[in-house]
Structure 1
Amino acid sequence: MSTLKIRARRQDGYTLLRVLISHPMETGRRKTEQEQPIAAHYIRNVQIALNGALISECLFSTSVSRNPYLSLHLPASQPGDRLRVSWQDNQGQSDSDEVLVE
């Protein structure tokens, strides 16, 4: 099951790209009720590609909240273009998914 929900819709001369990533985004500073530290687990980078060409790279840190949401306006895309979103975290996990612009 993908951790990404992606929507890309063309409107008013640009494409609105919306991305929701399911991820705990733990800082490493919290503790359990038994006072055990919770290990840091956060997304380090998110990459967005349009038709295979990288158009954006976002660098995240522990300051980003759980289940990050991204919204971007892309002026250079057309209906039928392929948008690919991928992420990698500090524990080596990753995911990617792609959609066609509507």
Structure 2
Amino acid sequence: MADPMRIRARAADGVIDARVLMAHEMETGTRKDASGKIIPAWFIQEVTCQVNGKTVMTAQWGPAVSKNPFLQFKARGKAGDKVTVTWVDNRGEKRTDETNVG
């Protein structure tokens, strides 16, 4: 399983500002290793962000996104709300992490 995401979420004036750092290799499928073999594609395809179980954002990504991607989004909410971020990659691996809004 992938390393945990680092999620920071703060609320001000009824708006949550969430910042997410995801640990993922994000291989494009076009690079070659030292022996000349192509490294297979391995990248996040879908990211879903929720606040208190309600989906506030969904993103569809591809191989052009950099290694260890950073995502920032804003949504309505307040301190104490729960922010959950889930990603699924092209190998079917899935990661979900959450934090409480500060």
The answer to whether TM tops 0.5 is: yes
Aligned to 1:95: 95
Distance 1:58 1:37, change over 3 A: same
CA distance in 1 between partners of 2:12 and 2:42 (Å): 36
CA apart distance, 1:12: 4.8
Question: What does residue 64 of structure 1 align with?
Answer: 65
Moved more, 58-67 or 8-17: 8-17
Question: Residue in 1 aligned with 2:25?
Answer: 24
SS of the aligned residue for 1:36 comes to coil
Tell whether 2:56 aligns with 1:55. Answer: yes
Displacement after TM superposition at 1:13 (Å): 4.5
Q: Secondary structure at the match of 2:99?
A: strand
The aligned counterpart of 1:14 is 15
State the shift of 1:92 in Å: 0.9
Gaps of 5+ in 2: none
TM-score by length of 2: 0.93
- In structure 2, the partner of 1:82 is 82
CA distance in 2, matches of 1:72, 1:30: 31
**Which residue does 1:37 correspond to in 2?**
38
Q: RMSD in angstroms over aligned alpha carbons?
A: 1.3
- Give % identity: 37
Displacement of 1:3 in angstroms is 2.7
Aligned residue pair count: 101
Where structure 1 has 5 or more consecutive residues not aligned to the other structure, the ranges are none
User: Any runs of at least 4 consecutive aligned residues in structure 1 with deviations exceeding 4 A, and if so which?
Assistant: none
Give 3-state SS (helix, strand or coil) of 1:34's partner: coil
